Structure 1
């Protein structure tokens, strides 16, 4: 659809002056608000306001604009429009207006808390978790193998995986994304960029080990992060969990139990069914079915 240009005043009105009531998430470079724009057909949007007092925020805005301008896929969060202007005090203001994902991010589903006193977060069964993993894989396949030039997300983690009203997963937050210019061929094999990393690129627990040694950015770095997410989806444990110390890690935790003791390390909440649109025919899985599906995903 064609979306009109929005002013600072439009976004102030849409978010009730960037009220904390409408704040749905906050990161290093920006805060995301739920906003209603009455003049538009779908009304509700996610409005990401960049914290321009943070070093790197302005660059993150431009990188995200470039990434979203060159991509379009059902498993990527869709950008509606941008707002680059000044606020009434003369300070630079930059924001992205994005598709609103009603079910929030994957992290909040893996580690549920009470949203309201009488409305606890529903839990994900095995079928839902596999469907989400497939959606993330489809997004990465598009970024790595169908985009020209290929793109590396560089910050893949559960909080950057958003879920729509049908629990379909969409990858978002492209503030650290990198195009691999000149690094693709007809064979579809992608190399890395021509420059090395200037410090770690990503989030602790999800960064590929080779990045810590100054390796160049590559699609393999995203694949590593995806592998960590798969293990996290199945075990319900963060890679930064305090239990992982003295040489222990999420990967080793799973490896030591694979394949005979997988059921002992699966997230115990997996057996609780999720009654969403995607699982109307499935229901909950038996322990043996969970074991077989988990083994297949981990192998």
Structure 2
């Protein structure tokens, strides 16, 4: 029995020692991992050359690194899981030692002044889900080995100086939901490998140098909602398969070389559409009548294309804040009128921008413009064939800042109620057939900076009330029938006023 007892004691002792050794080994590994994170953070701090807000002053030996500003650790292992240093005005670079913090799930460095390249060591972070570094001064290329971060959900590198191509290898990131690289210097084409990104919802690649056609890949991405490709050098047509995605909320392809027509049933295909921007391209055809069914639409940018025909009813677009149809061939130019759609816009109580200049619209401005949104600050209808008088009710649009009505066929007098537009900065009613006096109420417009009334049939004196226009920088009254002396108040301002009074019947002199 003694021998058996000895064996039993030795057996228990062996397992106790083994247990202690295992615990010691785990503790050593844990401490080793913690030390790796601590040293990596200190290297990150050392690579910061300017910290004007003192954000990293807590990064010292007196505090455990899990308590340092911007650092979040896991409860169990005390390993760094989040590094959040956004909006801290930090300058410098990101140390490659960041790749040693193997538990990192999120790195948030938005809105700093970090420069140099994206360290390729990031590719070692297999747990990384978010990498949000927009609005810095990062340069170089996007590392292709980001594809090794298989859990990545969000990539945001917008507002930097990144060059090169979008790595095709990113097409292996099956969990990627958003990638935004706007406002960089990226080139090449949108990778076809993005067709494999089954979770993708948003691609933001505006303001780069991408070229070629938009790849016909997005139609198979069932979660896809937002595509931003404006301000590039893209050509071709919008891929037909894209119109299969009823989930689309944003489609922005302005300022490219894209052509083709918009499908007649656009409003039914995109019932959730909120933002449509196709301006400054080579689109043709008519504006789809079905656009009225996209009742969630808040911005419609279609300027500088070759659209023709009538503007369809927009009465269901109650959330619209911007309608830009400028520089097309819309309207018939007939006296009967093409401007009935303006009355539909009275339902758009948030409307701020209404631009229909440089088209072929005819007829009179309807009185219903008095009921347009009180938020309207841009009203541009110049270079059309609009007839009749300017509605006096324009004075109801109290937040107007910019009014363009030049190069039409307006007649009658300038409404006195324009003097109620206290926020007005510029008004251009040149090249019409307006007559009568220049309203003295213009003197109430203390914010007025530019006034264009040239090439009309305006008579009588220049009102001395212009002295109230303290911010006036440009006054063009040439080619009218104005008479009398030039008001001394204008002479007093002439040294900093861009002034043209030629081709009138004025008397007096200018210095």
TM-score bracket, normalised by the shorter chain, equals under 0.3
Specify which structure has the bigger relative contact order, considering alpha-carbon pairs within 8 angstroms and separated by 6 or more residues. 1
Report the TM-score, using the length of structure 1 for normalisation.
0.27
Report the TM-score, using the length of structure 2 for normalisation.
0.18
Structure ID, larger Rg? 2
